Every structure is written in C-alpha cells, then in structure tokens.
Amino acid sequence: MLLLGGAATTPLAVGAGYIALHTLVGLFPWSDFAGALLQYWVGEVIGIAVLTPVVLVTLRGTLPRASWRGGAELAVYGLLIGITLWLDFGPLASAQYEHFYLLFLPAVAVAVRHGLAGAALASAATQGGLIVAIQVTGVETARTTHFQLLMLTLAVTALLLGAVVSERRRVEAMIRDRQSALDRVSRLTEAGGMAAALAHELNQPLSATMSYARAARKIARLEQASPRLGEILDKTVIQAERADRVIRSLRDFVRKGHSNPAPLSVAALIADCLVLATPVAGQHAVSIQAEISPGLPAVSGDAVQLQQVLLNLVRNAAEAMDTPDPRSRRIVVFAHPDTEAGFVAVGVRDSGPGLSDVVERNLFAPFVTTKATGMGLGLSIAHSIVEAHGGTLTGERRPHGETVFRFTLPVHDAGPNHETGINSDDA
C-alpha cells in the first residue's frame, strides 16, 4: 500500500511541474495540460508499480523456487497471457480490445498460488507482453494510455491480492511456530511438575525405609545376628540414602526454576492466548470471547508461564464442553481490577457441565483427572505458577452448569519483585 501510494503521488507532483514547464515554454497548449499530465502520470506509475515489486521480491529472495511443476505452471500462465494478447491484438481483434479482462485470470491465479512474489512476476510478465503487442501492432499513442490504465488496474489488483495471501501465510506460519514452542514449554513444565509430584510422593516412603533399615541394623548388632545380615542392612541404608539424595536434588532443581518477571499488559496476554487457542476452539467447536475492563494496569509476571496458565484453563474449558447444543459452547476470558487493591483478576468462564465432585474435592492436587488420556497435572501446575507470581488461583462450580477459574496477579510496581518458579511442595 505504501509503495502504491508513493508510486501514485510522487509522479503526480513531478509530472505537474514537468508538464507545466513545457506548457509555459509553449510546447503544449494549456488545454492539453490534463491529458498530458494523465499520460505522464500513468506511464510513471505503471513503471514503478510493475518493476519495483519485482526488484524488491528478488532482493528479499522470496521468489518461488524453480521446479518442473513450477515451470509447467508458468508455461500455462504464459500461454493464457499469450492467448489473451493474441485475441486482443491478433488478426481476430476488434478495435475495442474487449478481451483484456481475461488477463486478470492468470494474474489472480498466480497471486493466490504464490502470494506477493507471484503477483509481482505475473504483472511484470503481462506488462512485458503488452509492450511487445503494442510495439508489433503499432497501436496509436492515445490508445496506449488506455492500455496502461487497464494494466495499472491489473497490477494493483494482483499486488494487493498477493500481499494479502503472503501476509496470511506469514501469520499462519507464525501461529504454527508459537503453538509448537508453547507445546514444547508445556510438555517441559508438565514433566517438571510430574518430577516434583513424584519427588514429593516418594519422599515419605523413602524416609520411612531409611529409618526402618537403620533400626533393623541396630537391632541386628544388639542381638548379634549374622554378620552377613548386618552387611546387607548396611547396603540397604546406603542405597536408601543415595535415593534420598537423588530425590532431594530433583526437588531443588525443580524449585530453582527461575523465570523472567516483567511488566505485562493483561489485554496483550489475553489476545495472545486467544490466538493460540484458535485451534483448540476449532477442534471443540466452541466460541471464545474476551471481556476486558478498560484501562487495566500492567501486571508483573512471566509472559510464557502466564500464557500457559490461561491456555490450560481455556483448553480445559473447551474439553469440558461436549454438549450437543453448539449455542451453549461459550468460553469467556475476562480481566478486571480485583477487589484487593494492587491486583488484577484474570479468568476463564465456560458454559460446560461444571467440575465433577472428585475434582472439586481435590482441586489443584496432582494426578486428579476425569479424562481417559489426561495426566491431571494442568491445574496443579497452573496453581503453582500463579502462587509463585504472588497471586491466587480459585475454581468454582456455579449453578446452571458454569465453571469459573479465576486468578489474581500483582500490578507491576505494586509489590515486591517476585521470583517465580514451580515449587515442588506446591506441586
């Protein structure tokens, strides 16, 4: 758009001066000023609009890669352009050049298939063909402007369509990248959470095993049991102590998982989450809406971790809604100032069946799940992340089958700098 805007305005200013100068010295009558200016302008604009995009896409290296299939496709487009020019300028042509509109077909097809680079090449090829046809058939100068205007319309249409197609592909690729990055982080965090939960669960039986083994060793010594038994009990204590050290270092490692708290816009956090949740929404045929109070202050936190919390809540809400009625599959992601000063409340509300009794009784406990392939770690990890940020996460089943998960986040600068990380005790 910028290029086309520049291409349209600059030659207008230059052309006005140029034609005025020639008119002043008597080369044209003033009555021809508008016509001469149009001729000058369209010639310049078409040159810029057709050639500059080709130069730019070549310099950026975004031209389609050469291949046999590409070559065959190119030949078909070339043939179409050739046939149309032959119909308009060949022996069967009328003076009206009424088949010009057919040139839009290959240009639009290339723009849709190959984006901006394809569109730039297609309009340059069409323009080249047109120049050759005009030169060969000797169209009079007055008609040339007519063709140039038609060509300009074609170039602008193809370029804008190509730009939209390229932009869409770029955004799709970006969403795919971010989705897989988030999936990776999500898997790692789940693994971390699982390790923390395992460490927590194994800690007690291991301590008990160590105490029993030490006691048994003492009794064996006191009662002068076989030295072989004492030896085995020594080895048992050594191995149990070793396992205890491994578990301890695992817990320390998980506990020290630092993150980067920074000022974050809640609206941006939610907007990012909605983009990332698009595939989930499509998969479960749910609609997701945002309700954000205006003028919310920035919060302090780690964007990746908080996005994971929000996405997890949205995914859970979407997975919970298997109702046959598509109208009631609605998720609202909301944010508003919290009742406690210095905090912002963020949450997810859904119109699903509500939390089951088991989940409600053990909310945020690890390994609690009602899903066949669930791990039951999502809510527990989300709870740890929010607590590590200095906030609280709550979940409640409302009457009329609604579930609301809501968490608070400290306003940036309103509290101490929180060092976030998943704490194995929380998990």
The yes or no reply on residue 401 touching ligand ADP (CB under 6 A) is no
Helix/strand number for the chain, H first, E second: 10, 7
132-171: which residues touch ligand ADP (CB under 6 A)? none
**In the complex with ligand ADP, which residue's Cβ is closer, 116 or 368?**
368
CB of 403 or CB of 408, closer to ligand ADP: 403
Establish if 286 lies at the interface with ligand ADP (CB under 6 A).
no
As measured in angstroms, the least distance from the Cβ of 178 to ligand ADP is 21
- Considering only residues 303 through 322, tell me which ones interact with ligand ADP, judged by CB under 6 A: 312, 316-317, 320
Which pairs with CB-CB distance under 8 Å and at least 24 residues apart come from 203-212? 203/247, 203/251, 206/240, 206/243, 206/244, 206/247, 207/244, 209/240, 210/237, 210/240, 210/241, 210/244
Nearest to 423, CA basis, from 250, 234, 299, 251: 251
Q: Considering only residues 166, 384, 403, 420, which one is a binding residue for ligand ADP as defined by CB under 6 A?
A: 403
Q: Is 326 in the site for ligand ADP (CB under 6 A)?
A: no
Of the two residues 163 and 313, which places its CB atom closer to ligand ADP in the complex?
Answer: 313
Question: 218: buried, middle or exposed (CB in 10 Å: 19+, 13-18, 0-12)?
Answer: exposed
Among 256, 374, 398, 419, contact with ligand ADP (rule: CB under 6 A): 374
Smaller CB separation from ligand ADP, 272 or 350: 350
Residue 55 CB, nearest distance to ligand ADP (Å)? 52
Q: In angstroms, what is the minimal distance from the CB of 377 to ligand ADP? A: 6
CA distance 381 to 186: 10
Site string for ligand ADP, 332-361 (x = CB under 6 A): ------------------x-x--xx--x--
Q: With binding defined as CB under 6 A, does residue 283 bind ligand ADP?
A: no
Q: How far is the CB of 225 from ligand ADP (least distance, A)?
A: 49
Residue with tokens 């392939």: 373
Helical H runs in 223-294?
Answer: 227-255, 266-284
Nearest distance, CB of residue 355 and ligand ADP, angstroms = 5
* H or E segment to which residue 142 belongs: helix 141-222
Q: Does 370 bind ligand ADP (CB under 6 A)?
A: yes
Residue closer to ligand ADP by CB (options 166, 351) is: 351
Beta bridge partner(s), residue 290:
333
Contact call for residue 379 and ligand ADP (CB under 6 A):
yes
Taking CB under 6 A as the binding criterion, the range among 36-44, 78-86, 289-297, 366-374 that sits at the site for ligand ADP is 366-374
Return the number of the residue (223 or 357) whose C-beta is nearest ligand ADP. 357
Taking CB under 6 A as the binding criterion, the range among 7-15, 46-54, 119-127, 369-377 that sits at the site for ligand ADP is 369-377
From CA 310, how far away is CA 277, in angstroms rounded? 10
Give helix 2-24 / helix 33-59 axis angle, nearest 10°. 140
Q: How far is CA 88 from CA 74, 91, 130, 229, 385, in A?
A: 21, 9, 10, 104, 69
Q: Mind giving me the DSSP string for 385-421?
A: HHHHTT--EEEEEETTTEEEEEEEEEBTTTS------
Give, in order, the Cα–Cα distances in Å from 394 to each of 198, 344, 347, 405.
24, 14, 9, 6
If one asks whether residue 408 binds ligand ADP (CB under 6 A), the answer comes out as: no
DSSP string covering 212-236:
HHHHHHHHHHHTT--HHHHHHHHHH
Q: Does 189 interact with ligand ADP (rule: CB under 6 A)? A: no
Q: Do residues 189 and 308 lie in contact, with contact meaning Cβ atoms separated by under 8 Å?
A: yes
> Shortest distance, CB of residue 382 to ligand ADP, whole angstroms?
7
- Asked if 127 is part of the footprint of ligand ADP (rule: CB under 6 A), the reply reads no
287 binds ligand ADP (CB under 6 A): no
Q: Give the residues lining the site for ligand ADP (CB under 6 A).
A: 312, 316-317, 320, 350, 352, 355-356, 359, 368-371, 374-380, 403
